[in-house]
Structure 1
């Protein structure tokens, strides 16, 4: 038997990589889907397709029997709508504004060096027995700043393990498991939360135009999930991955610098102090019963505080980023701050272009009523086969894990899936916030084994620093145990959470 011949699992992953690479760009996919919607809208319009269901009337906000029929985009009114609403569809897309506002702060914190220094300082100070959980935890937390975890923490994890005379690939795997496998978990809100909640809100409007999903509506579940991911990541690294790797013997002496300078330490001190000051100021606006940011009757759930959560999130990153920058001289004046903000938005250019096409697809999908028709008929089918509740959510998780192997961009994936699954599950009595959680669990679990994930080649390049033969197969073989165990454990955890009726976020209901 030829020992050099790849195993069946590796050959399967190679096929997935090959086929996935042949998929069009997400923008092209949205254009194709938009053309399909245009064609189907006219076909179903001519056929007189429609549904009758119990729903929320868009004007009276009362629950009553509604009749909805397919609307064609190829009749004069439909063509006029497509041409005249392009700009409005884009600028009114819920996910656009919150993400760009949040990135103004996150970008300054990242590009001033604050986030990188904070993660390096935290991990390098960890006691030896806590190194693995700290690396995984910092990987999860790094997701508040978009892609910084892939660029900074994944290679840092390898360096830290090497410094403790442990195998660097084990450290790389632990960090990658936290960053990508725990992508949706976090103790704090990240740029992903307003993005996904915005898309979910747009999808919910197919059935209920007044429904709003807030960025905080998954926070309870994601907060607790952070500890689950840390436990899984630690056990898999220490009990499975590191023993499999054995002792690392470098082919040549390696010199790594994983410490921060005295200047950076001073910058961190004052930057962290500025976060505390910012939080205290915000708390003073919320804590009193008649606080400025409280809502009617002293409510916190429905209040100016919840409405301003994105701006607050921006401040919590912007303030320490600026303070750190001035202390370390990476920022010298107001022009540097403006340049860092500009630079952070430049990195979002691909996202902005993608959102333009996603917004057109979602808007036309809503206009044609195809989403409502699919949702009602899909819900009727699921009821006929007696699939609802927990089994339905598990099915969505499994579907997401498969799609995730071929479409890596989570925003593009959810923009395609949400208009179908969110209203369909609403018809089954499942709240959009819960549907979004199921999607996030499935999306995160297979990130670490998807060769099409944008940062996967970067992780492979990091792995090759510790062995020229390390490649895609190496990284996938290391990450597969994490993926399988995270998927199974997180799904079970989510179902237990759902069955016990625990809210997934502040003010978020489980049932619609």
Structure 2
């Protein structure tokens, strides 16, 4: 009896105990807004320290020596305010992001994106449902942040129909949509966004250099499959067993009978 209890204790520490520690640690993280604020403060303080130390670098495109600027000084604050609008308006991918947002809004508002993802998710065999959910979550980023909103409830409905906890489905769908946000079978807005940023940087070296949006395409396709396999393993090994205690509520059962995401 004592050996059985010791074995159970070691098992809890080895699996559930470690995952519980990660869960508690993650719950202690502050809101992303405050993380962003702290990073901004860190950048400002770093600029002051590097300016005080006289840190400089050579621009490879022009050969000009660029010195670190103290953003805490009066000149730094004035420069920050004066160039705030121009930095925002002349950011290379800004126009593309606006255009894609309009297209994504139409696709999401009309229900096209939700229907397409739901049709694929509900039409696959049961044996490959888990990897497909993660792959759909990754490919959902073609609709930008809309995939994070659409994929988790679809995964919850699928898990409910399979007799599994919908909470596990929500977690799997959210993990697939966020962990694979830049992976896709198709060229997504993120690819074009990063290509624009990279091109803007390379222009400091050579104005004629252009970074194509397809530069990472093969890698992104391979990453989608790897995410599906790895995500399915983690979900089957850890997520689903830890969520068995959560029962299916009446609201979820009603959603399964009438799987409409329009609400």
Q: Could you state the TM-score of these two structures normalised by the residue count of structure 1?
A: 0.40
SS at match of 1:162: helix
**Pairs within 5 Å for 1:178-193:** 178-193=176-191
Aligned to 1:137: 135
| Deviation, structure 1 residue 222 | 0.4
Aligned to 1:255: 254
Describe the shift of the 1:190–1:21 C-alpha distance in structure 2 as closer, same or farther (beyond 3 A). Answer: same
Distance 2:198 2:243 in 1: 42
Contact 1:124 1:258 in 2 (8 A): no
Find 2:232's aligned residue among 221, 231, 234.
Answer: 234
Unaligned runs of 5+ in 1: 59-65, 262-329, 331-512
Describe the shift of the 1:92–1:164 C-alpha distance in structure 2 as closer, same or farther (beyond 3 A). Answer: same
SS at match of 2:34: coil
Find 1:173's aligned residue among 166, 171, 174.
Answer: 171
Distance 2:50 2:245 in 1: 61
Aligned to 2:28: 18
Describe the shift of the 1:7–1:125 C-alpha distance in structure 2 as closer, same or farther (beyond 3 A). Answer: closer
| Deviation, structure 1 residue 56 | 4.2
Find 2:116's aligned residue among 92, 115, 118.
Answer: 118
**Pairs within 5 Å for 1:96-111:** 96-111=94-109
Aligned to 2:3: none
Distance 1:138 1:229 in 2: 10
Find 2:67's aligned residue among 65, 70, 82.
Answer: 70
Describe the shift of the 1:50–1:234 C-alpha distance in structure 2 as closer, same or farther (beyond 3 A). Answer: closer
Aligned to 1:208: 205
Distance 1:223 1:216 in 2: 11
CA-to-aligned-CA distance 1:60-107 (integer Å, 9 cap, x gap): xxxxxx462526568999787556533322211123222111111111
| Deviation, structure 1 residue 111 | 1.2
2:42 equivalent to 1:43: no
| Deviation, structure 1 residue 115 | 0.6
CA-to-aligned-CA distance 1:456-505 (integer Å, 9 cap, x gap): xxxxxxxxxxxxxxxxxxxxxxxxxxxxxxxxxxxxxxxxxxxxxxxxxx
**Pairs within 5 Å for 1:384-395:** none
Distance 1:80 1:194 in 2: 32
**Pairs within 5 Å for 1:70-89:** 70=67, 72=69, 82=80, 84-89=82-87
| Deviation, structure 1 residue 184 | 1.8
Distance 1:88 1:183 in 2: 29
Aligned to 1:57: 61
| Deviation, structure 1 residue 154 | 0.7
CA-to-aligned-CA distance 1:418-451 (integer Å, 9 cap, x gap): xxxxxxxxxxxxxxxxxxxxxxxxxxxxxxxxxx
Distance 1:247 1:16 in 2: 21
SS at match of 1:165: coil
Describe the shift of the 1:24–1:78 C-alpha distance in structure 2 as closer, same or farther (beyond 3 A). Answer: closer
SS at match of 2:142: helix
Contact 2:56 2:68 in 1 (8 A): no
Contact 1:182 1:226 in 2 (8 A): yes
Describe the shift of the 1:88–1:185 C-alpha distance in structure 2 as closer, same or farther (beyond 3 A). Answer: same
Describe the shift of the 1:202–1:16 C-alpha distance in structure 2 as closer, same or farther (beyond 3 A). Answer: farther
SS at match of 2:52: helix
| Deviation, structure 1 residue 116 | 1.0
CA-to-aligned-CA distance 1:202-248 (integer Å, 9 cap, x gap): 4555x625354343322221012111111222333345544565597
Describe the shift of the 1:196–1:259 C-alpha distance in structure 2 as closer, same or farther (beyond 3 A). Answer: farther
| Deviation, structure 1 residue 123 | 1.6
| Deviation, structure 1 residue 151 | 2.1
Distance 1:77 1:89 in 2: 17
Describe the shift of the 1:249–1:118 C-alpha distance in structure 2 as closer, same or farther (beyond 3 A). Answer: same
Q: Could you state the TM-score of these two structures normalised by the residue count of structure 2?
A: 0.71
Aligned to 1:95: 93
| Count of residues paired in the alignment | 245
SS at match of 1:90: helix
**Pairs within 5 Å for 1:450-469:** none
Unaligned runs of 5+ in 2: 1-8, 10-15
Aligned to 2:195: 197
SS at match of 1:256: helix
Of structures 1 and 2, the one scoring higher in RCO (CA 8 A, sep 6+) is 1
Distance 1:16 1:177 in 2: 14
Describe the shift of the 1:243–1:26 C-alpha distance in structure 2 as closer, same or farther (beyond 3 A). Answer: closer
Contact 1:159 1:256 in 2 (8 A): yes
Distance 1:70 1:50 in 2: 4
Contact 2:165 2:248 in 1 (8 A): no
